Chains A and B, each alone.
Chain A
Amino acid sequence: MDAEAARYIGEGMKYIGAGLAVVGLFGVGLGISNIFSTLINSTARNPPMQEKLFPIGVLGFALTEAVALFALLIAFLILFG
């Protein structure tokens, strides 16, 4: 096949690759909802602990969100790198 067709196919593959890269966000969604559901559960069981639990919950959320953004970074690297 000639070079132009190969280039088009390559561009198309990039888009497919970027789309596949963000499939990992499925796990991240589960993880974040897990964190907050546990936070709500614990607060319901023991309301005075809320001030101590909330910063840890927020930290956990940020760390899990980071994994989501690693996936997004890979997608960007594939698309534009």
Chain B
Amino acid sequence: MDPLHQFEILPIAEIAIGGIDFSFTNSAFAMAIAVVLIHSLLVIGMRHAAMVPGRMQSIVEILYQFVARMVHDNAGSSARPYVPFVFAVFTFVLFGNLLGMVPGFFTFTSHIIVTFGLATIVITFVTVLGFVKHGLHFFSLFLPTGAPLALAPVIVPLEMISYLTRPISLSVRLFANMMAGHTMLKVFAGFSVMAIGALGEFPGLLAAFGPVVINVALTAFELLVACLQAYVFAVLTCLYLHDALELH
């Protein structure tokens, strides 16, 4: 029982452009489902927008207020126009993680290339924003205020390297969390199957209860981690946005 088999990319519709495989895979399908779910949640929730919100409208509004407050607290009030971007990032990661918890569904955030792509999008967006707003003065971000100029040749390269490792740390955090969680779930599930195989039917079924109980606790923990990692991704996006907009 290979615990890594669940991360295999399987094509649904083969598309090849110029000899390169661009097929619509199970990962792409999961991404599409996530987008459809997010959009339908938002649209259906606000269909009968009333002063006194009903259930769906409350859910949508609470989600929006959560992201808006997070952006306001961490990125300042000048980041108001970028709330939709942070909202898109947050809900994409959140729904990606949570869809992975549905039995049989593919977790597209457990692939390093996907999380790296997302992190790159975020950091590129933030950097371009910084350059547009501050021009070349953006590089003053790499020399923190109060640092003596004599140390600049040491500090600036260090700061630049640490800035360039931001996409890596952002992506690896999400990827490793998701992969480790799902691998552990699969391993413990494998223990149950192995117990039945090794001990025969009756004692095996009894012995298989242990890993299942652990799996229940692990599933709860993984749900928490799914939401937490989406939150952390979004908060870090807001912090990087703050760095780019305020430069300190």
Which residues from chain A sit less than 8 Å from chain B, CB to CB?
58-59, 62-63, 65-66, 69-70, 72-73, 76, 80
Contact = CB atoms under 8 A, between A and B. Distances in A.
A66 B177 CA distance: 7
B4 interface: yes
A77 B219 CA distance: 25
Interface string B175-211: 1110110000000000000000000000000000000
Interface residues on B, range: 10 to 19
B4 A66 contact: no
Contacts of B169: 66
Interface of B is mostly: helix
B4 A62 contact: no
Nearest to B70: A55
Interface of B: 4, 169, 172-173, 175-177, 179-180, 228-229, 231-232, 235
Contact of B172 (A58, A62, A69, A80): A69
State the 10 A-B residue pairs at the shortest beta-carbon distance, nearest first. A69-B176, A66-B173, A62-B232, A73-B176, A62-B228, A72-B180, A69-B177, A59-B235, A72-B176, A69-B180
Nearest to A76: B179
